[in-house]
Chains A and B, each alone.
Chain A
Amino acid sequence: MSSADTPHVTPARRYLWVLAALLTLLALSAGTAFLKLGPFNSIINLSVSVLKTLLVMAVFMHETGARNLTRLTSALGFIWLAMLLALSLLDFLTRAVLPAPW
C-alpha cells in the first residue's frame, strides 16, 4: 500500500523538456524531407520516429523506472511486427520478377 500512499511522480520540467525535444525532432524530419538525400530521407525520417517513440515510451510512459516485465511486454508488439515485416519482405525483395513474356 505504501506505493499507493506516496505515488512516484516525474518532475514536470522533464515532461516539458521531452516535449521540446519531440517538437525539435518533428521539425528535423519535416525539414530534411525537402533535401534531396535519396534513400537517406526515409532513413532519417524513420530514425527520428524511432527516437521519438523511445522518448515517449521512456518518459511519458514511465518505462525508465518500470519492471522488466512491463518493458518486455511493451517490446513484444514491436518485435512481432518486425518478424512479420522481415519475413514477408524476404519474399518481396528476393523475388525473381519474371519479365512480361511478350
Chain B
Amino acid sequence: MNASTTDLGLHRPAFLQEQFDDPLQQREAATLGMWVFLATEILFFGVLFASYTICRVLYPDGFAAASRHTDMLLGTIETAVLLTSSSLIALGVRAIKLGERRAAVALLLATAVLGSSFLVMHGFEYYREYTEHLVPGIDFLQPGVDARAIELFFCLYYFITGFHSLHVLIGVIVIVGVATRVAHGHFGPRRYTPPELTALYWHLVDIVWIFVYPLIYLVGRSG
C-alpha cells in the first residue's frame, strides 16, 4: 500500500478494485493470475497426456491401430480452424488496443464462430464413432487382438477430446461475452486486460489441441 496513492484516490478509475493501488498493479496481478491458471490447465491436461503416453508405451501396436479408426481429415481441418481462430483473436485484441471497435467485435465473433464450428465437427466425429461401435462403456465392439488396447485408446480419446471440447465451449461463451462488452465500449485502448486474458486462455486451448492432433490422429498412418 502506497501512501501517495491514497491521496490520489480521487483519480482511481471505476474498474480499479480497492485492494490495488493503481491500474498497472491490477493489470499485473490479473495477468500473473491468468498465467498461473494456465499452468494448472497444462497439468489438468497433463494427467491425460501422461496416461496416454504410458498406455501407448505399453500397447504401441494397439494405439496405432486405434488411431487409424479416427477421422484424420476432420482432425486436420479442426486443427487448421483452431489455429486460424487463435490468430483472429490475437488480431481482435490488437484492434481493441487500437480502438478499432467494429473490427474488434468482428474478429472476436469470427473467433467464436470458428470455435463453434470446431465443436460441430467434433460432434460429427463422435457420431461417426458411435455408429462404428467405438464408444467404450456404451457401444464398443471391435475384432482383433488389439481390441482391448483400442478400447483403452478410445477411453483416452473421449476423455482428452471431451475435456478439450469443454474448454472450447467455455472459451466460445467467454469470447462472445467479451465481444458484447467491446461493442458496448467497456474495453478499449485504456482498458484491455480482460480481453487479453481471454485471448491467452484461447491460445492455451489451441496449444493443447496442437498436441492432441498428432497423438490422436496421426499414429500409425504409415503402417
Contacts and interface: CB of A to CB of B under 8 A. Distances in A.
Interface of A: 1, 3-10, 12, 15-16, 18-19, 22-23, 26, 29-30, 33-37, 41-42, 45-46, 48-49, 52-53, 56-57, 59-61, 69-70, 73-74, 76-78, 80-81, 84-85, 88-89, 92-93
Interface in B177-216: 189-192, 199-200, 203, 206-207, 210-211, 213-214
Interface residues of chain A: helix, strand, loop or mixed (majority):
helix
Contact of B24 (A4, A6, A33, A59): A4
B40 A77 contact: yes
Interface residues of B, number: 53
Contact of A56 (B35, B47, B54, B206): B206
A73 B35 CA distance: 6
B119 interface: no
Contacts of A93: 57
Contacts of A5: 189-190
A76 B46 CA distance: 12
Contacts of B223: 36
Contact of A61 (B42, B76, B200): B200
